[in-house]
Structure 1
């Protein structure tokens, strides 16, 4: 997609940028339920212009989330490289919950089935495996509760999609508090009650990869 950019005329490049910005805005605010017609209307372009630049919805989703994907990768791999696994785990939870509050659509793509490209599916599987390895290290040093599974973090991200509202600052405040509450429940403690059977949320992202 990006290699086409140097060959676009100025007006075509401007239309493409407007479509991408519209997709980022709408996916970020409303998630993946946004339609191609919604994006075209928000970008003030005709459907033909939209489909000329992005022939399928998946092309648009991939392009719109490219920056978020790279940010998510850096969050997870920086956390995984931390010498102290709890410090790394905590940073991952805090930063991904904040990313979730800023962009509803990206987390939808991270956990949804049948709505993402093979490229994004492989990337998210790689991230989930890195998270699983980090959690094993944190369990081994006694800081993360022993019955934690990666699905629990995905459940937190799904729940955090409820952090909606027009005020981005307020959403960020709520996201940080929500992350702190989640981390408190993830930490190993003598008072931890036994958890019910885990939900197999991550299996969707790893299926067929």
Structure 2
């Protein structure tokens, strides 16, 4: 059986342009962004789009393969940190910030159809790594004993949701929520972690609440 032939230079260039446009639009607007918008942002026609990606699913898988790999890499890097609390905290903060900056990541992780096989494989890889970070922190007495492995991905989702509703008024506000959540996971702390973002003003808060209605 012959090996797959590499794409021509112009075909590969178009594929990369589509991928880059999709990465940006998925992050800004979620994975429901239209194929027409992606093609337009990439500067290619619809026909060219479908020659490189036969359907939306194949594009979603191509875009998020790298992003899911980055989460796995973050867990492995955290396991190399000697201090158990800092290792756990670094992982949670890193992945939560990824969710805060990428609406599409939340869509894919919560979806039952988009990238389903890819997400299933990702979970099989990430769960033992995240579990090791949790158990090491518990064994050191720095993480609450009642923390479940499933609490952590829901924290990522919560931070992403806060980022969605505040990014127009206060793009860094999610950092406050993230700080409060991570501090709440600690078994004991002598002092709270300083906030890295300012609080909302009254006008910002009212704008956000009005948008939710």
Q: TM-score, normalised by structure 2?
A: 0.75
Q: State the shift of 1:30 in Å.
A: 1.6
Q: Distance between the aligned counterparts of 1:53 and 1:180, measured in 2?
A: 42
Deviations 1:23-79 (CA, angstroms, capped at 9, x unpaired): 101110122222323322332433221111011222211221233223212111111
Give the SS at the match of 1:114.
Answer: coil
Q: How does 1:58-77 map to 2 (within 5 A)?
A: 58-77=57-76
Question: 5 Å matches for 1:10-25?
Answer: 10=10, 12-25=11-24
Q: Is the 8 A contact 1:110 1:124 kept in 2?
A: no
Distance 1:150 1:175 in 2: 22
Q: Which residue number corresponds to residue 200 of structure 2?
A: none
Q: What are the residue-to-residue correspondences of 1:6-45 with 2, within 5 Å? A: 6-10=6-10, 12-45=11-44
Alignment correspondent of 1:47: 46
Tell me if structure 2 keeps the 8 A contact 1:111–1:154: no
Quote the Cα distance in structure 2 between the aligned partners of 1:45 and 1:86.
48
Change (3 A) 1:56 1:150: same
**Residue 178 of structure 1 corresponds to which residue in structure 2?**
177
Residues 96 and 157 of structure 2 are in contact (CA less than 8 Å); yes or no, is this contact kept in structure 1? no
In structure 1, stretches of 5+ residues that fail to align are 191-209
> Over alpha carbons, which structure has the higher Rg?
2
Equivalent pairs, count: 184
In the alignment, what sits opposite 2:199?
Answer: none
The structure, 1 or 2, with the larger RCO (C-alpha pairs under 8 Å, 6+ apart) is: 1
Aligned to 1:107: 106
Counting only pairs closer than 5 Å after superposition, residues 1-209 of structure 1 correspond to structure 2 as 6-10=6-10, 12-162=11-161, 163-164=163-164, 165=167, 171=171, 173-189=172-188
Runs of 4+ in 1 over 6 A off after TM superposition: none
TM-score, length-normalised on structure 1? Answer: 0.76
Instruction: Give the gaps of 5 or more residues in structure 2.
Output: 190-213
